[in-house]
Amino acid sequence: MGCEYSKLTTCCGDSDLDGVIGEAQKVEKEEKSEVGDVPAFREYTVEQLRKATSGFAAENIVSEHGEKAPNVVYKGKLDNQRRIAVKRFNRSAWPDSRQFLEEARSVGQLRNPRLANLLGCCHEGDERLLVAEFMPNETLAKHLFHWETQPMKWAMRLRVALYLAQALDYCTSKGRALYHDLNAYRVVFDEDGNPRLSCFGLMKNSRDGKSYSTNLAFTPPEYLRTGRVTPESVIYSFGTLLLDLLSGKHIPPSHALDLIRDRNIQMLTDSCLEGQFSIDEGTELVRLASRCLQYEPRERPNPKSVVTALVPLQTETEVPSHQIMGLPQVATAFPLSPLGEACLRMDLTAIHEILESLAYKDDEGAATELSFQMWTNQVQETLNSKKKGDAAFRHKDYKAAIECYTQFIEVGTMVSPTVFARRSLSHLSSEMPEEALNDAVQAQVISPVWHIASYLQAASLFALGRENEAQIALKEGSVLEEKRNRTS
């Protein structure tokens, strides 16, 4: 930003400069208004992103391929509480930092509600990182191939197809028609359950890297011949995604086209969709997939005509995405404090930091009670157990913390909601969610209006997979915290 400012002052007077800055702010405001509160592209330092991801901690990895992938994606949170996804390239991917910055800046100019937009990048030393909006509701691959509670409904599959086509059409209109390795892992769902196209695919995995990493059976035929991605190659990949949406499986295009030629569409469609769509609707989607998968690139449709074909197929257009998907819409239902957010995300590191900074200031009256009992050896031992537990908790030695806090609790000379809260988090961090829930409930028994007890119950219930109960506990914690803040 400093360089840009000095360039402007060299060619403009102060009054002219005010006008230029005013116009720039106006443009930025218009861009923001198009996509909510998405800020303009900026550069980050490695230290900022290290802090945001808790030191690129393994528990913050969200990419399906995990730590061994060439380019790992982490979830994180900036100082302003904005949640982000950080893609960290391997060190040899982009040797020329200037080329990386130019490419990232170009992608970073795009702003659209159908994209998980690129917020910035970092190119310090050997580090090459991209920063994007964080999408909290998993990938299309997860919802389509590895679903746990319910298969994706037909109306949602049609919406995914349309929103992706609209994303590609927007990118094409802005001169970014090339998308590398479009597949079900590149489609992510935002807090409202709406599908978005990840901006990461608008950049190659490296300066000279291959644009397709998937099985050759799913690769556009011309890419196998030339090794180059074209706009028509992207449409071919979109066709494979349509097959994914139809079948609920990752079927090779050649096999799918054989089934279509034999008019065996029933074998192609997901059995979970029975009764959800008409034969005409299914036939139209199959026809569109076939057009996208044509062997000759020039015979495939462009993104705009794909959008035109998909709009009339949409159903349940008035129903919000999160409702069709069966997802809770916590973010817009009520505001969450940093602790509430941490419990929603199951960010145990952030919960630990908050409990550690809070110390025992919410244990009203406990110190007075102890002062009258200090003369017994038993109480002295109890206090020592608590001190040892606090030291272990501070250093995240959760096993030792559980043992020491248990000794303190079992003696029973005093009650402390904070000790139960700390032991609850220690149980959560030790993968003992049932015990964690019991402790959080006990903390609330001692202190019924203590918001932290409700929040820890929510985190424990999320860990147990009891989603609806967790949402209720989360809301309860939020209400209690708001009341507390109003009266304090």
What is the distance between the alpha carbons of residues 326 and 189, in angstroms, rounded to a whole number? 13
Query: Do 203 and 180 touch, CB atoms closer than 8 A?
Result: yes
Considering 96, 126, 169, 181, which one is annotated as catalytic?
181
What are 130's strand-pairing partners?
87, 121
Nearest in space to 321 (alpha carbons), one of 310, 312, 305, 332? 332
Q: How many CB atoms sit inside 10 A of residue 106's CB?
A: 16
* Start-to-end C-alpha separation, the chain: 41
Query: Do 332 and 191 touch, CB atoms closer than 8 A?
Result: yes
Nearest in space to 303 (alpha carbons), one of 179, 212, 154, 184? 179
CA 420 to chain centre: 31
Name the phi and psi angles at 165, rounded to 5: -60, -40
What is the distance between the alpha carbons of residues 319 and 325, in angstroms, rounded to a whole number? 10
What is the distance between the alpha carbons of residues 67 and 376, in angstroms, rounded to a whole number? 53
Residue 81, SS3 per DSSP: coil
Active site residue 14: no
For 364-432, the DSSP string reads: TTHHHHHHTTTTSHHHHHHHHHHHHHHHHHHTT-HHHHHHHHHHHHHH-SS--HHHHHHHHHHHHHTT-
What is the distance between the alpha carbons of residues 334 and 473, in angstroms, rounded to a whole number? 13
Q: List b or e across 402-429, with b for residues whose CB sees 16 or more CB atoms inside 10 angstroms.
A: bbbbebbbeeeebbbbbbbbbbbbbbbb
What pairing do the DSSP bridges indicate for beta strands 115-116 and 195-198? parallel
Q: Which DSSP helix (H) or strand (E) runs through 83?
A: strand 83-88
Nearest in space to 481 (alpha carbons), one of 439, 450, 456? 450
**Active site positions, annotated:** 181
